[in-house]
Every structure is written in structure tokens, then in C-alpha cells.
Amino acid sequence: MSSMTRGIGQETKGRRSLKRIGLSLGSVVVFYGAMYTLAPDTALTALKASAKISLALCLPLSLVFSVMFLLNLFVRPAQIAGVFSRNTGMKGMLLSAAAGIISMGPIFAWYPLMKKMREEGAGEGPIAVFLYNRAVKPFLLPVMIAYFGWTYVALVTILTILGSIVLGYSMNAVSGD
Amino acid sequence: MKVAISAEDTTLGAPVSRRFGVSPYLIIVDLDTGEWEAVRNPGSSGKRGAGVEAIVLVISKGVNAVVTGYCSPPIRKHLESNGVDVFTGLSGTVEDAVGIYRKGEIQKKQEFESNALDRWSFLRAGTITNAFKSSGNQFATMLPILFSVVLLMGLVNALVPGELLASLFSGSALFDTLWGACLGSILAGNPVNSYVIGGELLKQGVSLFAVTALIITWVTVGLVQLPAEMAALGRRFALVRNAVCFILAVPIALMTVVILNVVTG
């Protein structure tokens, strides 16, 4: 019974998410429509600016799809669970960072697995490190590089990973793990 | 050496459950020490994705082999690719199954070509199609919001003068970083949106300190997801993690820009 309730809950959540996406896009389109009737020149300028941004994104996005495909081909959720470490030492932190980097999908999709890992004795440090490193997205790097350049992306990536280790030890200290 | 046997109940005398993924219990036996434990199989709910939970349990318990009546091909593939051997076709009691396994009488069924050593498994048509489908779905989910963001940025470009945007930022590295971090903590969604917003704001004259803090906190701090995180991982964990992430974003953003300026001159 409880699993049934959970199933329905998940379905509703999925529908809500689709609704939200439709609403976001719909409201922007409606706003453009309203603007076109009030100030057609400004609306056209905005559309031209959007088209320019879209064009600039075409190549990076095709690369994004390629990297996404390769990750889906080689990396599976069970492997990420295998890489994720319950160990609160440096090795555990680094493994959890690697698991966070290769993980894909929305953050809330990973909460159940993290909850389970926590229940089975995983330290708070590795879980926090995993969640933090989801900011490092290999498949999105083409877009980031297109906007900010290689050097910047390399620096942000390195400092984010280092920051996650600091976070991991801070969480360990707070929780007493 | 640990063996997990799918079981109908929590004792060694329980019958071996026919299906690994949805069996009520898994009895994990340490063959070296003889110790065993019965664990409720999270996959027994039969809900979608339940098999993955059973796989995660087996891997997290350090199991080396699974002994069961039947194991579906996807679950077998995941287990084997994680170094867990799968033995099927077993019946009788859990104790019998352990005895048969100990004697080495059990034959590993070669029902599928793939195993952990098959490094070319990804070349199979099914695997490639699945990867393509998954990528297509993920990409399709990402695009509508990204498109909305692009349209919004077009509006910002047309309506908000660059000078006005830039004036919202004081020019002080610390203040701009904090302001960017606040913005990134409130906003949420796919990180690609933060790159587009950040990149466009940068073109409008907003400082790189603010943009960097926005990009970092976009994923690491989630005020929108906070209730979900608290429900899953606990109130204290979620609050402390988000607070530390916010604080960390400031030095990371400052260091990134300062080092970048040094490197690029």
C-alpha cells in the first residue's frame, strides 16, 4: 500500500515538473506576445538577441549531447553507487567527488540513494562531497567553455573540487563522523 | 567472501525466492566466518526502479555473488559489471543453496555474453540505443527551460541597459561575490542555464566575481530544494551543508577571478 502511494506520488511529481516547464516557456512566450502588441520594435530586438544567443549555443549544445551520450554509454547508476564511498577519509572523499562528477540528472533524483547510503553508515562528508561535485558537469563543459574560455573553466573546476573536500571535512567535523 | 541469496523469509530454512529483484529478503552469508544476516530487499516493493535499489544494497554490502532462482538480464548485467557473480536456477532452502555453493557444484549459467571482463559490451546495439534514448530524454528535458532562459536573456538585452545592470553591482569584489552568491542560491535548475545567464550578464558589464559566485551556488546551494533535502537527509545536514556551501562559494569565486587575472595577465 505504501509503495503504491509512493508510486502515485512520483507520477504526480513528474507531471508537476512537466507542468512547470510548460508554464515557464508559456509565460515567456505570452510575455513576448504582449510586448509585440505594445512595442513591436523592442520585441523584435529581444527576439534577435535571443536568436543570436541560440546560434552561439548550437555548437556547444551538440557537443553536450555527444558527451551525454558517451557518459550514458559507459556510466551506469549502479557503477556510481559502487564508486561512491562511505569512507570519511581522503580516499573516500575523492571517490565520492568522482561519483558526483559523473552522476547525471536532477539533484533530487539522487536524494533516495544518498538517504540509503546514509542509513547504511555513509559519513556526512562523502554525501556532501557527492552533492557538491554535481556542480562539475563534464557534459556541459562545451557551453561553459564557449562562454568563459578554457582557463576559467579549468580554474573553477579545480577549485570546486578542492572546495568540496573542505566541505566534506567540515561536515565530518560538525557531525562527528 | 559474501554470498547473497534471495529468500522468502528471514531464516536459513526459508525457501530460495524465485526472483532476485523482487524477493522479500536477501540473506547475506559470509562464507569465511559463517555469519549471516537477513536484510529486507528494497526491491520487494516491485515499484519502478526497485531493481536498482536491490543492486545498490548488494554492492554496498560488499557481496561477491548472488544466488537466486531467476535474475533479469538488466539486473544481472549491472551486478556483473560491478564484479558480482550471478548464479541462477537455484531452489530448495537457503541453507541448501549455501551448501551447493560451498561445494562448488553450482554452475554459473552463461545465459548472457556480457560480464565484467567484456570490455566491448557497450558496442551492442541495445546498449547504444538505450544510451541514445537516455541522452535524448535528458536533452529534451533540458531544452525547454534553456530556451526560456535564452528568450529571457534576449528580453534583458533589449530592455535593461547594460549600465543599469552593472550599476547593481558596486564594483567591490566582496560585495559583488556575495550578491552573485545570493542570486545563485535562490535560482535553481540545470547548470547550463547558469552559464547562459552568467555569460550574458558578463557581456552586460556585470563583474566576473558575481558571475562566478552565481555559477557555483546555482548547483551547490539550493534554497528551492531545501525541503526535499531536509526530508531525505535530515534538517541539520541540509541546513549545515547549504550554509557551508554558501560560505565556500565566496572564497572560491574570489580565488578563481584573482588567479585568472594573474594567469591571463
**C-alpha torsion A168→B226→A102→A158, nearest 10:** -50
Question: pTM for the whole thing?
Answer: 0.63
Q: What is the pLDDT of residues B188-217, one digit of tens each?
A: 778 888 999 899 888 888 899 999 999 999
Alpha carbons B53 and B44: distance in angstroms, whole number? 10
Handedness of CA A84, A85, A86, A91 (dihedral sign): negative
**CB atoms near residue A37 (< 10 Å):** 8
**CB atoms near residue B145 (< 10 Å):** 17
Alpha carbons B180 and B196: distance in angstroms, whole number? 14
A7 contact B CB<8A: yes
A62 contact B CB<8A: no
Tell me phi and psi for residue B207, to 5 degrees. Answer: -70, 150
Alpha carbons B229 and B219: distance in angstroms, whole number? 13
Cα B91 from chain centroid (whole Å): 35
Question: Are residues B152 and A46 in contact, defined by beta-carbon separation less than 8 angstroms?
Answer: no
B233–A82 C-beta distance less than 8 A: no
pLDDT at residue number B135: 81
ipTM summary value = 0.76
Most confident residue range from A27-31, A55-59, B168-172: A27-31
Residue B257's closest chain A neighbor by CA?
Answer: A152
Question: Are residues B184 and B215 in contact, defined by beta-carbon separation less than 8 angstroms?
Answer: yes
Which residues is B3 bridged to in the sheet?
B29, B65
pLDDT at residue number B41: 86
Alpha carbons B143 and B151: distance in angstroms, whole number? 12
B229 contact A CB<8A: yes
Interface contacts A/B by beta carbons within 8 Å: 200
Residue B19 DSSP code: B
Q: Which residues of B touch A48 (CB under 8 A)?
A: 154
Domains of chain B: 2-125 (3.30.420.130), 160-264 (no CATH)
B60 → closest Cβ in A54, A81, A115: A81
pLDDT at residue number A144: 93
pLDDT at residue number B109: 42
SS3 (DSSP) at A121? coil
Q: Average pLDDT, whole number, for chain B?
A: 82
For B:75-94, CB contacts with A below 8 A are: 78-79, 81-82
Question: Are residues A170 and A132 in contact, defined by beta-carbon separation less than 8 angstroms?
Answer: no
* Interstrand relation of B65-67 and B25-30 (parallel, antiparallel or unpaired): unpaired
Alpha carbons B214 and B3: distance in angstroms, whole number? 48
Q: What is the pLDDT of residues B124-172, one digit of tens each?
A: 666 788 778 878 887 887 788 788 888 888 888 788 776 776 777 777 8
pLDDT at residue number A11: 42
For B:1-40, CB contacts with A below 8 A are: none
A143–B192 C-beta distance less than 8 A: yes
Alpha carbons B241 and B7: distance in angstroms, whole number? 39
What are all long-range contacts of A41-47, with beta carbons under 8 Å and residues at least 24 apart? A42/B158, A42/B159, A43/B158, A45/B157, A45/B158, A46/B151, A46/B154, A46/B155, A46/B157, A46/B158, A46/B159, A47/B154
